[in-house]
Amino acid sequence: MKTKAAVVHEVGKPIEIEELDLDGPRDGEVLIRYTFAGLCHSDVHIQHGDLLARLPMVLGHEGAGVIEEVGPGVTRVAAGDNVVCSFIPNCGICRYCATGRQSICDMGATILEGNLPGPRFPITGPSGDYGAMCMLGTFSQYGVIHQNSVVKVDDDLPLDKAVLVGCGVPTGWGSAVNTANVQPGDTVAVYGVGGIGINAVQGARYAGAKNVVAIDPLENKREKAMELGATHAFATAEEAQDAIVNMTRGQGADSAILTVGLMDSEVVSAGFNAIGKGGTVVLTGLNKIELPTIQLSGSILTLFRKSVKGSLFGDCNPTTDIPKILGLYQAGDLKLDELITRTYTLEQVNEGYDDLLAGKNIRGVMVHEH
């Protein structure tokens, strides 16, 4: 069948809309009709060449839709199911899945190659085989993806909101709840309030943090953070540092969660200085793979028993955490509707990313037409 999709052919060039050919689902695969896709900063990292991906690549890794057809051996979902995609698949049996660490499942090895196991490229076109971002490619009307990349959700959940639970919400929420292990009474600093950071704010607040300090140079971001659980908001790390010292009587924050769009050593150092003894810095934002974004005193790390941790998909287990987080939404304890600033069509994808880079959006969402 044919599908219209947003493709990166060359680093630094605009994203192109192309009509491509899609093969039917084989063993363990499903045909999904994508209905909504979130515009996450990670797709820009592909376009800008920060994350080196195999090109051409169909972008989009935050997605939701309806299963249209299943291939042989598919047991997790059936035709007609509403699903949210997970940007890391989970096989269930590798060493990491089997020990409750699905976000580092071995099957995730090809998320930047964009192929399914085989290796197999169900999408083809004028430039040969097309990879799909995170083995999904949600900026496409249809996709053929592995059953291990989808999680069935309740029929009555609005997919235009649930789509955010494919990346931004679990990544941010889990960076606070899982990776930073925020405890009641904690002081937490969140650097960068985009689609990821706003959910670190929500997660920290839900876990019982006393002080949730949001740092972002943009006023619209700080306002949204205050609306959704931050207790303080500052434009710069310097202002936040002084306030954190005061509010903790010199002890420092328990955790600093770094969710800026482009990670650098300055923000890592700011987070490291904001935490006190026993504190944790969580690196969730990304930058060029080869760039040394961590330049810190190892002696301070040791003497103050600080930790610096990476967080992927918020250390969440998609099969259990996607339904759990959606349950919190249904209960009113987690906001999704308030995170969506604007919607876009597939053709407006470049405009959507211009808006993201200009800091206009908490999250932009693509609405697919079929």
Active-site amino acid positions: 40, 42, 45, 61, 167
303 in Cβ contact with 297 (< 8 Å): no
Q: CA–CA separation, 76 vs 116, rounded Å? A: 17
Stretch that binds Zn ion, among 96-104, 122-130, 333-341, 349-357 (CB under 5 A): 96-104
Shortest spacing between CB 71 and ligand NAD, in angstroms: 28
Closer of 17 and 91 to Zn ion (Cβ)? 91
Shortest spacing between CB 73 and ligand NAD, in angstroms: 29
Stretch that binds Zn ion, among 11-19, 32-40, 123-131, 323-331 (CB under 5 A): 32-40
Shortest spacing between CB 46 and ligand NAD, in angstroms: 10
Chosen from ligand NAD, Zn ion, none, partner binding at 91 (C-beta under 5 to 8 Å by type): Zn ion
From the CB of residue 126, how many other CB atoms can be counted at a distance below 10 Å?
Answer: 11
Tokens, residue 165: 């639970």
The site that binds Zn ion (CB under 5 A) totals a number of residues, namely: 7
- State the residue for tokens 């051409």: 56
241-245 long-range contacts, CB within 8 A, separation 24+: 241/270, 241/273, 241/274, 243/213, 244/187, 244/189, 244/211, 244/213, 244/274
From the CB of residue 24, how many other CB atoms can be counted at a distance below 10 Å?
Answer: 11
Give, as ranges, the residues between 33 and 52 that touch Zn ion (CB under 5 A): 40, 42
Please report, as ranges, the residues that interact with ligand NAD according to CB under 6 A: 40-42, 45, 167, 171, 191-197, 215-218, 221, 259-261, 267, 284-286, 311-313, 356, 359
Task: Assess 134 for contact with Zn ion (CB under 5 A).
Answer: no
145 in Cβ contact with 66 (< 8 Å): no
Chosen from ligand NAD, Zn ion, none, partner binding at 97 (C-beta under 5 to 8 Å by type): Zn ion
Closer of 84 and 209 to Zn ion (Cβ)? 84
- State the residue for tokens 């689902």: 25
Shortest spacing between CB 202 and ligand NAD, in angstroms: 13
Task: Assess 97 for contact with Zn ion (CB under 5 A).
Answer: yes
- From the CA atom positions of the chain, what is the Rg in Å? 20
